[in-house]
Amino acid sequence: MMGERTVMQEALFYEFSLERHVPASHLVRAIDRFVDLSGIRAHLRPFYSDIGRPSIDPELMIRMLLVGYCFGIRSERRLCEEVHLNLAYRWFCRLGLEGNVPDHSTFSKNRHGRFRDSDLLRELFETTVWRCIAEGLVGGEGFAVDASLIKADANRQRSAEGTGSVDWDDLAQTRRSVREYLDTLDEAAWGAASEVKPKFVSKSDPAAQWTGALKGHAFFAYATNYLIDLDHAVIVDVEASRAIRQAEVGAARTMIERTQDRFDLWPARLAADSAYGSAENLAWLVHERGIEPHIPVFDKSERQDGTFSRSDFTYDRKADAYICPAGKQLRQRQRAYRTPRPLVDDDGMVRYRASKLDCDACALKDRCCPNTPARKIPRSIHEGARDMARDIATTDDYVTSRRQRKKVEMLFAHLKRILRLDRLRLRGPNGARDEFHLAAAAQNLRKLAKLLPSGPRTRTA
């Protein structure tokens, strides 16, 4: 029998518990256990006036932003709608049933003001790292570093030729992203990262790099750089940079130094891909930081024309000379010069030269130097660190590190596919930093919730 239509009747009194209506298995319950915002007001107090109307609660805004980044809600306008309607989000944001959700414009005003001036989002991210350390999820022995490209909020149609002339000072009067670009021209991770002019420069976000690194259509992008602990793939640091290799390597150094200063973490080994395998970077890791580089050496010395490569020559450390396949020595100096020449060139390379007399009489000349009078072998001043990396590459620990390094790539996949951060909404270097800090904090909180499950915690009012 068909039921009758139900007519909703308004009750005079309601007894409703928001606590009971949030499922025990909901992600917000697991995350809420690890969100500590007790110091946020003290951190922000110098940036608020002592007079005037009370502001929107900063803890409420931070909790709403965490909801947005944990659940992939990219629009702040939609975030306000979701928090208004969703009981679980209201519970997490401490709004109750009748609490008012702030207008979406409030986030923009505070992000470009107090939050950025106080570096609050960096503080929020570091709070999640401290919690991971306290819960024993960070071993501190092995780290991995990598970078991933995130599309910028810029397009080709509103760009200028990289070699063209643009009045940036005039654009900076109306565009915050241009002012940030001009402020970072001398920074190693941004304007000073490379002297090479990009093909195009975006007028709306000039710090974004025009890149075709993904082997498809070129686009404007930033690079998010992760330094993770290999035990449980906890993100111990994050940095925004230009989407070029030099800037990414510089960001890796910045993160290693900052992790040691902030958290007193001194890893024994670092896993990375060949982009971080330059001689200078390997020497920095080995000699200045005492870190074993589990990194493929960036080396282009192997020849493809059938002649002897540098690996066919043996280096004699005691004599400081290379021994060729015919048993002859290649030395830095084969004769004395009236005016001494520098041993090291501008690229940090030392040239070892064979004697022309030895090469002329050698039966292997056609396989060694058929087009030059004598053979030359370049050797980096950091070759000791390169040799160490090559030796490590033959060990079982290196194989393990190469397998574990995939954890950072999985974090990038999670960032783009689950958290939906495949394109930035904010412009400029500071906008990129803000988004990357919030996303990394959300990933660490989700990691804590996954690895440390617990039953529902009843919160007292």
CATH code (residue 139)? 3.30.420.10
Q: Residue 367 is part of which domain span? A: 314-374
pLDDT number for residue 8: 58
**Quick one: 142 and 95 in the same domain?**
no
10 occurs within a structural domain: no
Calpha distance 228→128 (Å, rounded): 13
205 occurs within a structural domain: yes
Name the nearest CA neighbour of 41 among 62, 68, 64, 67.
62
**Quick one: 342 and 419 in the same domain?**
no
**Quick one: 350 and 410 in the same domain?**
no
383 occurs within a structural domain: no
Phi-psi region of 356 (alpha: psi -120 to 50; beta: other; left: phi over 0): alpha
Calpha distance 385→281 (Å, rounded): 9
**Quick one: 290 and 165 in the same domain?**
yes
Those residues with Cβ within 8 angstroms of residue 71's Cβ, 6 or more apart along the chain or in another chain = 27
pLDDT number for residue 2: 61
Those residues with Cβ within 8 angstroms of residue 248's Cβ, 6 or more apart along the chain or in another chain = 147, 223, 225, 241, 275, 276
pLDDT number for residue 155: 87
End of a domain among 322, 347, 374? Answer: 374
**Quick one: 25 and 71 in the same domain?**
yes
**What residue ranges of the chain have pLDDT lower than 70?**
1-15, 334-342, 454-461
What's this model's pTM, rounded to 2 decimal places?
A: 0.88
Q: What's phi and psi for 145, nearest 5 deg?
A: -135, 145
The first and second tokens of residue 229, run together, are: 């602990």
Name the nearest CA neighbour of 377 among 297, 313, 296.
313
> What separation in angstroms does the CA of 376 have from each of 313, 320, 331?
11, 14, 9
pLDDT number for residue 456: 42
Write the DSSP assignment of 148-193 as a string of letters: EEEE-S--GGGEEETTS---HHHHHTT-HHHHHHHHTTT-TTTGGG
pLDDT number for residue 52: 80
C-beta of residue 426 within 8 angstroms of C-beta of residue 435: yes
57 occurs within a structural domain: yes
Number of domains in the chain: 3
The first and second tokens of residue 79, run together, are: 């975030």
pLDDT number for residue 191: 84
260 occurs within a structural domain: yes
**Quick one: 184 and 200 in the same domain?**
yes
